[in-house]
Amino acid sequence: MSSGKRQRTDSSRYDDIFGPVAAELDAYKEKRERLVKASRDTTAAAKKVIFKLLRVNKVVEPTARTLDDPLLDEAEEDLAAVRRKIVDDIAAEFVADPASSLTEEYWRYQPQFSTGLQEYIEAACLYAWVRHSVCAGWRELQAQLPQVPIDTTDYLLGVCDLTGEVMREAVQSVALGNVQLPFAACRFLQQLLVECRALKQTAARSWPGTVNSELDRKLETMASSVVKVEETCYKLRLRQAEYPAAAGAIPPLSEEEPNRTVDD
């Protein structure tokens, strides 16, 4: 092995291949970190809005939806601030100049900030429910935030989370003496559950497996939240039957819409 003697490992042999790769991996990691942080900040800001919205309904009168509560206007402004934050901290990572549309890199990093977007969606939907007793639609939210594509996954997962907040609001309101809200909340949640479960079948072939297992998990939590509210309504109704005088504020049966049944 005299002339054919191999040189021992030469660490610089493939520098031309690994050098650029190293730079690329580092850049990816840094951008990823920035977006993870932006996502956490968005989550924190949206959470504050949610808590603010949960404080809105604390009046003890029987008719207690105080739509002129100044907290509602504050919450609306806060939501606009969260949107600005999403545009400045997240969308800005994917544009060369503000006029141009987002680069395809948006979807590469999307998993890194989707929790932040979901929390914002949850807050925006909760706001719509507290103020208008409806859920904010996907198109509607997209129209409010035209710079950032809202993925269907983030919308649906955000709506699933909304259920927990509505449940908390409904249960809390009983303690505060509002015995009408649970019934309204119950119908709303039952509808949401039907919708989300119906979409689950479609989503199975439309989304990656990781997202689908998250959806399964959230749907389970969602169902248990709905059951809690149903249980509350059940007890209220029982009490009304037992002591009509003690539960005068509960909506009489005739005023209720025919109850939707959660089938399948």
Partner 1 sequence: MAQSGLPEFEQLAQQIEEEGALRDKLRELRDALEAALRPVDTALGLLHVKADVAPLLQQAQSLLPTVCERLGALQSAVPEGCFYKYNDLWRQSVVRVVQQAVLLHFLETGGCQTLADADRSIDTADSAAPCGRLAARQDVQRRLRGSDVADNAEIPAVRIETDEYLLGVCSAIQEMSRLAANRVVLGDFVTPKNMAVFANEVHAGFRLLNFRNDALRRSYDGLKYAVQRLDGIQYDLSIRNLR
Residues that bind partner 1 (CB under 8 A): 1, 3-4, 6-7, 9-11, 13-19, 21-22, 24-26, 29, 32, 101-108, 110, 134-140, 152, 155-156, 191-192, 194-195, 197-199, 201-203, 205-208, 260, 263-264
Return d(Cα 230, Cα 166) in angstroms, integer: 12
By beta-carbon proximity to partner 1, the closer residue of 16 and 242 is 16
Residue 111 Cβ vs partner 1, minimum distance, rounded to whole Å: 10
Query: 161 with 171: CB under 8 angstroms?
Result: no
Q: How far is the CB of 70 from partner 1 (least distance, A)?
A: 27
Residue 136 region by backbone torsions, left for phi larger than 0, else alpha for psi between -120 and 50, else beta: beta
Nearest to residue 62, comparing CAs of 183, 238, 239, 187? 183
Q: State how far the Cα of 244 lies from the Cα of 77, in Å rounded to an integer.
A: 42
As a whole number of angstroms, the distance between CA 165 and CA 54 comes to 8
CA 67 and chain centroid, separation: 23
Of the two residues 16 and 255, which places its CB atom closer to partner 1 in the complex? 16
User: Shortest gap between Cβ of 31 and partner 1 (angstroms)?
Assistant: 12
Q: CB nearer to partner 1: give 20 or 177.
A: 20
Compare residues 247 and 262 and give the one whose CB is closer to partner 1.
262
Round to whole Å and give the CA distance between 208 and 210.
6
Shortest distance in whole angstroms from residue 200 CB to partner 1:
10
Residue whose entry in the numeric block shows the structure tokens 């990816």:
28
Least separation, in Å, of the C-beta of 45 and partner 1? 24
Smaller CB separation from partner 1, 57 or 155: 155
